[in-house]
A = this chain, B = another copy of it.
């Protein structure tokens, strides 16, 4: 039935954990919130009970379920933060009401030659100098996203200073003469978290990150900002609201 595979580099207990996680997400145990017994899961997955226990232990560590002896395992409701992807998304504004406190921290900024995709997105010559800004987005002291932004170097040379002063990219851009800017497009995909992601976002191996690639620009003007972000898929959903539709 639930064909698990061996020799894939993913331990059986983790495949089972992923499966149960997906089932919870599909609302499988919605009525009572109770998972099948360990014995039942073991036969369902065609696996030893100890292997199921390892999977359940992992889910319990992640706070997905709560297990007590003699009773069973129960789903713990947990919501992901909803991160809006709209024409005018701002990091902090979009998360308001969902968390007590948001913070975005600049990790590093430097000038570097534009790589091919950066140059193309910003309409610059290849290898043209660009300002690179690495940032970490946090909500209630939990890291949510790791983003790298690129800007044309000459026009935005003092952006990091303004950012330090204001604590907001939007305001720092305004100080550089960008009155109003909008998100032009966003490409979204996903991948297993790399070691770097795990360090930055405090994730465990096997975690998944949402990868977004977006370009922001001035209204009626050209592109201003090229960004690559990595979100912890455990913690956020990207929410695309259609401005036209309703």
Please report the C-alpha to C-alpha distance between residue A241 and residue B17 in the assembled complex, in whole angstroms: 35
Quick check: which of A21-29, A35-43, A98-106, A152-160 contacts chain B, the rest being far away? A21-29
Please report the C-alpha to C-alpha distance between residue A217 and residue B82 in the assembled complex, in whole angstroms: 21
A10-B9, A30-B116, A243-B243 as given contacts; A15 in contact with B205, CB under 8 Å: yes
As a 0/1 sequence over residues 64 to 87 of chain A, the CB contacts with chain B under 8 angstroms (1 = contact) are 000000000000000010100111
Which residues of A are at the interface with B, using a C-beta cutoff of 8 A? 2-5, 8-11, 13-15, 17-19, 21-23, 25-27, 30, 54, 58, 80, 82, 85-87, 115-117, 182-199, 204-206, 208-211, 213, 217, 219, 228, 233, 236-246
With A10-B205, A185-B245 given, name 14 new contacts (CB 8 A): A3-B195, A8-B204, A9-B11, A9-B13, A9-B14, A18-B192, A26-B228, A27-B117, A30-B115, A184-B245, A185-B240, A187-B238, A188-B238, A219-B245
